[in-house]
A and B are shown apart, each in its own frame.
Chain A
Amino acid sequence: MLNFLFRRIAAGIATLVVALFLMYLLVDRAIDPLQDLIESTAPNKQQLIDQRIADLDLDVNVVVRFFQWFGNLLQGDLGIAWRSGRDVNSLLTHAIGSTLELVSAATLLAVVLGVTVGIVSALRQYSAFDYIIIFLSFLLFSLPSFWVAVLLKQWAAIGFNDFLRDPVVAWPVIIGASLLVGLLWSLAIGGTVVRRLQVFAIAAAANIALLAYVQLSGWWDRPHIGPVMLLVLGAGTAFAVVGVFAGLHNRRALWTALTVVVIGVVLYFPMQVVFDSVTESNWLILGLGLLAAASGYVVGRLFGGADWRLSAHVGAAVAVVMGALVFVDQVMQVWGPYFKALSGRPIPTFGDRTPNLGGNYWVQALDSFTHLALPTATLVLIAFASYTRYSRSSMLEVMNQDYIRTARAKGLPERLVIVRHGFRNALIPLATVVPIDVITLIGGAIITEAVFARPGMGQLFVRSLEQAEIEPVMAYLLVTATLAILANIIADIVYATIDPRIRLDA
């Protein structure tokens, strides 16, 4: 394993250096730092040109300049963006944060949504639901992301902001949307006619109830989750998680999940005080999340039984969801002041932070979420399609294997066959796709950041390339190339870890 890692890293570094060298030559060929001077009409034009050539060492051969740049790089100095005179290291630090925020949010959402939908679609192969999903993924796959981004910016953002001014949805729209949701659910769950009708009725009714509650309680003016909704949502999650991963007949798992929900709701009240009295940071929130997962695990362990690991995992999963709900509730609580501070147009269409906003941690969190909403949606729309396709074909492949037939033959319930034997194995090829896809998303972020003017790495790259500054461009290439090489190594390792047939040392 170590041997493999060492070899791969060495090869990766070699590739990286050669790639950077070639890219340096290309970028140097692509940009012309003298262009604005050559086009200028200044009387001392020649003098200015000479000055700049001297400043940027343009008379030195490009290969020599690469090695100068590379030597500085080894000392941790990425150079200076000469037009603005700013240090590339500091430019990059902010840009990386902004891009990572975007890409990780998009990846997480796209993987969760795409894999779920893809697997359901595979289980209902050749059904109406399957065909709808196939067509949808083709359509999303063919959408130019910049076009979608501009559309979202112009319609979704401005439309939603207008809607918030007078947040009333017409009743026919609510009923129509709910019927559609019910139809989708009934198609996804499938079964006999009676069952489909039941699913349709329940889903549509639940949806109408939810929208009616939101509408009638003035939820849009003061969005919140609150203890009651927390209980309802938590119980729903508990039943869903147990139903899928353990089966509702597994009473210990069910009790674990419900206990965790009750603990979460009870803790909701003291946590309000805690959140008011301490200064939060991302690390604190992350720590609380881990603490929640750990306590969920402990609850599952305490319920014991032969299969306590399953209960513990269920408990941890439900606890994380409860924690996330409490977090969202906290963020929602500052909606009112935030809404007022932005004079009633809370969904921004550019940037990644509102300048001079101030406020506490929660306001800042809300601010970054509203800025993330549209760019993330753009990236998710496109990544969703590829994950759906991957997971669908992977699941189809797996469900045809002999071990699935064996599992069915030995009388396992269909849920176990799908979750334990099908789903787990379908994830193997996906695990290698995800790290590599993250790199594609980082590339895709160039477009999203350009449309939404987010000051991330992609923007840094595009701007610098336009303005003929080679240092920031090379810094960007360094980061993406390193990430790409790392992603490939990680994909190999993940593959070897989850598939015992693969051995890295061979």
Chain B
Amino acid sequence: MSTPMTPPSGSPLDEHVENEIELKEVEGLSQGQIVRRRFFRHKGAILGLIMLGLTTLLALTSVGVGPLPGWWQWTPYETPSVVNAGRPSMSLPTWLGGTGFAIGEHPFGQDEIGRDIFARVMAGVQTSLMVMVVIGTVSAVIGIAVGAASGFLRGRSDTVLMRLTDLVITVPTIVIGAVVGKIAGGVSGLVFAIAMGLILWTTLARLVRGEFLSLREREFVDAARVAGASNMRIIFKHILPNAIGTVIVSVTLLMSSAILLETALSFLGFGVQSPEISLGQLINQYQQAFATRPWLFWWPGLFIVVIALSINFIGDGLRDAFDPRQKRIPSERKMAKAMEADGSAARAITTTVRPADSRNPGTGS
């Protein structure tokens, strides 16, 4: 499926060897175990997971959650006196050309009235993560419900539900988001997130519908129905578990676009309103200060990138893990090694060069 560069002229023997390797890896494992194993082998996804975990941990513990205090000495709203024109006090270790590693009073600097940027950014990360998770949950629930209903029931309810999705898709998300955000953003970050979830479910609904349309025709659904299962049971016990890969992957990707949408709306002033803090709002607040205090601008953006990038990588890993067509291709070097152990080293090296085209990368050397 995903080996366009493998030799088209490859003998069936080659394919056989390749399949052997693949089969040996999944022997005697359940679907869940295979998925987990594939996911944990995806370096980017694991790196993303670790980054996201660390970011969350840092954001939650440093400034505390709700009434619980954190270990960081400043809160986002305190205004201590401005030290050193608010410059970041963090310095790099000497081997990176700094003056020795130190965190100092205000590692990310202070704004013009002395508020600690580290604390503010951490509070922003908390809000943005919260918004992201809530959007993901709300739109997953609605998307699955609508998609499952219209895909399973078909007929009139399908038409009605799909027209409803069309309505939401007609206007670009950011535009609806701005209007809805203006209503909900003033109330609280949580309400804003729920409102965003109410408009972002459409892609998921379409995907789930597609999955349901094809899965409901399968034999195991007929078998369940013959055995007397109710519609609800068929939907939740028989079809949904088979569609779970699609759902998880697209919810993950939806969350990464959700965080960008939230920050963009807050940047425009239609999202989370002060006194609540969000990363986009911080950037909006400080963009005028770029020329004089660039650090006010750097950190919130950097954290948005870190979060969105981690989630995108996790989503990519999940997609690779769930897609049964995605046969994991061992790199040519690994293949060669495996075959060497097999005693067929010579074949391993020669047959991977496509005879008609010497431009095949990575094989000539």
Instruction: Report if A444 contacts B (CB, 8 A).
Output: yes
Interface residues of B in 314-365 (CB under 8 A from A): 316, 329, 331, 356-362, 364-365
Task: Specify the main secondary structure of chain A where it touches its partner.
Answer: helix
Residue of chain B at shortest CB distance from A29:
B183
Pick out which of these stretches binds chain B: A56-64, A79-87, A190-198, A303-311. A190-198
Q: When the two chains form their complex, are residues A138 and B364 in contact, meaning their CB atoms are under 8 A apart?
A: no
State whether B8 touches A480 (Cβ < 8 A).
Answer: no
Q: Tell me the B131-181 residues at the A interface (CB within 8 Å).
A: 163, 166-167, 169-176, 178-180
Q: In the complex, A465→B176 CA distance in Å?
A: 12
Cβ B361 vs Cβ A142 within 8 A: no
Q: Does the CB pair B167–A22 fall under 8 Å?
A: yes
Q: State how many angstroms separate the Cβ of A467 from the closest Cβ of chain B.
A: 12
Query: Is the Cβ of A195 less than 8 Å from the Cβ of B183?
Result: no
In contact, A122 and B4 (Cβ under 8 angstroms): yes
Q: Is the CB of B172 within 8 A of A191?
A: no
Query: B359 near A138 (CB under 8 angstroms)?
Result: no
User: Would B270 and A150 count as touching, CB distance under 8 A?
Assistant: no
Q: Which residues of B contact A480 (CB under 8 A)?
A: 171-172, 175
Q: Of all chain A residues, which has the CB nearest B180?
A: A26
Q: Closest CB-CB distance, B51 to chain A, in whole Å?
A: 12
CB atoms of B174 and A443 under 8 A apart: yes
B179 touches A30 (CB 8 A): yes
Residue of B nearest to A31 (CB): B182
Q: How far is the CA of A370 from the CA of B357 in the complex (A)?
A: 44
A 303-324 to B, binary, CB cutoff 8 A, 1 in contact else 0? 0000000000000000000000
The yes or no answer to A141 lying at the interface (CB within 8 A) is: yes
Given the complex, which residues of B lie within 8 Å of A477, measured CB to CB? 171, 175
- With contacts A144-B305, A400-B3 taken as known, whether A15 is within 8 angstroms of B163 at the C-beta atoms is yes
A439 contacts B179, CB within 8 Å?
Answer: no
Are A191's CB and B358's CB within 8 A?
Answer: yes
Cα distance, A93 to B179, chains bound together (Å): 23
Chain B interface helix/strand/loop/mixed: helix
Q: Is B251 an interface residue (CB 8 A)?
A: no
Contact A26 B179 (CB under 8 A): yes
Q: Complex: how many Å from CA A269 to CA B163? A: 59
CA distance A189 to B169 in the complex (A): 41
Q: Of A124, A125, A189, A484, which is within 8 A of B171 by CB?
A: A484
Collect the chain A residues with CB atoms within 8 Å of residue B169's CB: 484
Give bound CA distance, A465 to B166, whole Å.
24
- Does A127 sit within 8 A of B, measured CB to CB? yes
Q: B264 and A18: CB pair below 8 A?
A: no
B179 touches A447 (CB 8 A): no
Instruction: Tell me which of B28-36, B97-105, B206-214, B283-291 binds A.
Output: B283-291
Q: Are B268 and A462 in contact (CB under 8 A)?
A: yes
With both chains docked as a complex, state the minimum distance between the C-beta of A468 and any C-beta of chain B, in angstroms: 10
Closest to B163 in A: A15
Are the C-beta atoms of A446 and B178 separated by less than 8 Å? Answer: yes
- Whether a CB of chain B sits under 8 angstroms from the CB of A450 is yes
Number of A interface residues, CB 8 Å? 64
Cross-chain contact A442 with B172 (CB below 8 angstroms):
yes
Return B171 CB to nearest CB of chain A, in Å.
5
C-alpha gap A481/B291 in the complex (Å): 39
Within the complex, the shortest CB–CB distance from A5 to chain B, in Å, comes to 17
Question: Cβ of B182: which chain A residues have Cβ within 8 Å of it?
Answer: 30-31, 465
Contact B359 A443 (CB under 8 A): no
Q: Which of these, B3, B183, B263, B313, contacts A26 with CB under 8 Å?
A: B183
The closest CB in chain A to the CB of B256 belongs to: A142
**CB atoms of A138 and B313 under 8 A apart:** yes
CA distance A481 to B170 in the complex (A): 5
List chain B residues, Cβ under 8 A from A446. 174-175, 178, 268
Q: Which B residues are CB-close (under 8 A) to A442?
A: 172
B175 near A461 with CB under 8 A, answer yes
Q: Please indicate the chain A residues that have their CB under 8 angstroms from the CB of B358 in the complex.
A: 191-192, 195
Contact across chains for A447 and B170 when beta carbons are under 8 A apart: no
Docked Cα-Cα span, A364 to B267, in Å, equals: 32
> Which A residues touch B1, using CB under 8 A?
400
CA distance A443 to B264 in the complex (A): 11
Contact between B312 and A19, CB atoms less than 8 A apart: no
Cβ contact within 8 Å between A190 and B304: no
Complex: how many Å from CA A122 to CA B3? Answer: 10
A485 to chain B, nearest CB (A): 6
* B361 proximity list for chain A (CB < 8 A): 124, 127, 129, 190-191
Interface size band for B: 35 or more
Known: A142-B312, A144-B304. A444 touches B174 (CB 8 A): yes
Decide if A414 is an interface residue (CB 8 Å cutoff). yes
Chain B residue nearest in CB terms to A122: B4
Query: Could you tell me if A144 and B180 are in contact, using CB atoms closer than 8 angstroms?
Result: no
A465–B270 alpha-carbon span in the complex (Å): 9
In chain B, positions 251-300 with a C-beta closer than 8 Å to chain A are: 256, 260, 263-264, 267-270, 280, 283-284, 287, 290-291, 294, 297
Task: Choose one: A19, A154, A414; the contact of B167 (CB below 8 Å).
Answer: A19
Known: A154-B291, A190-B361. A142 touches B166 (CB 8 A): no
Are the C-beta atoms of B2 and A150 separated by less than 8 Å?
no
Instruction: Flag if B4 contacts A150 (CB, 8 Å).
Output: no
Asked if B301 is at the interface (CB within 8 A of a chain A CB), the reply is yes
Check if B240 is an interface residue, CB within 8 A of chain A.
Answer: no
Chain B residue nearest to A124 (CB atoms) is: B361
Contact for B4 among A16, A396, A409, A462, CB less than 8 A: A396
Contacts of B270 in A (CB 8 A): 465
Question: At the interface, yes or no: B125 with Cβ under 8 Å from chain A?
Answer: no
Point out the residues of chain B lying under 8 angstroms from A192, CB to CB.
358-359, 364-365
Taking CB as reference atom, which chain A residue is nearest B305? Answer: A142
Residues of B within 8 A of A29 (CB): 183
CB distance from A203 to the nearest CB of B (A): 16
Closest to A137 in B: B312
CB contact under 8 A between A409 and B309, given known A127-B362, A147-B301: no
Is A405's CB within 8 Å of the partner chain B?
yes
Q: How far, in whole Å, are A402 and B283 apart by their CA atoms in the complex?
A: 51
A399 adjacent to chain B (CB < 8 Å):
yes
Given A15-B163, A22-B167, answer yes or no on A396-B2 (Cβ-Cβ < 8 Å). Answer: yes
- B96 an interface residue at 8 Å Cβ cutoff? no
| A19-B170, A193-B364, A484-B170 known; A126-B175 Cβ under 8 A | no
Task: Give the contacts of A29-63 with B (CB-CB under 8 A).
Answer: 29-31
A484 touching B172, Cβ below 8 Å: yes
B178 with A462: CB separation less than 8 A: yes
Q: Is B232 an interface residue (CB 8 A)?
A: no
Question: Do the beta carbons of B4 and A125 come within 8 Å of each other?
Answer: yes
Query: Could you say which residues of chain A place their CB within 8 Å of the CB of B357?
Result: 414
9 cross-chain pairs, A with B, having the tightest CB-CB distances, nearest first? A443-B172, A142-B308, A192-B364, A399-B4, A190-B361, A147-B301, A30-B182, A142-B309, A191-B359
Q: Give chain A's interface residues, CB within 8 Å of chain B.
A: 15-16, 18-19, 22-23, 26-27, 29-31, 122-127, 129, 138-139, 141-147, 150-151, 154, 189-193, 195, 396, 399-400, 404-405, 408-409, 414, 439-440, 442-444, 446-447, 450-451, 461-462, 465-466, 473, 476-477, 480-481, 484-485
Q: Given known contacts A15-B166, A144-B304, what 10 new A-B pairs fall within 8 Å (CB)?
A: A144-B301, A154-B294, A192-B364, A404-B4, A442-B172, A446-B174, A447-B174, A447-B264, A465-B178, A484-B172
A-B contact pairs, 26 of them (CB 8 A): A15-B163, A15-B167, A22-B167, A123-B4, A126-B5, A139-B309, A141-B308, A142-B309, A142-B311, A143-B305, A144-B264, A144-B280, A150-B287, A191-B359, A191-B364, A192-B365, A396-B2, A404-B4, A405-B8, A439-B172, A443-B174, A461-B178, A462-B268, A465-B178, A466-B269, A480-B171
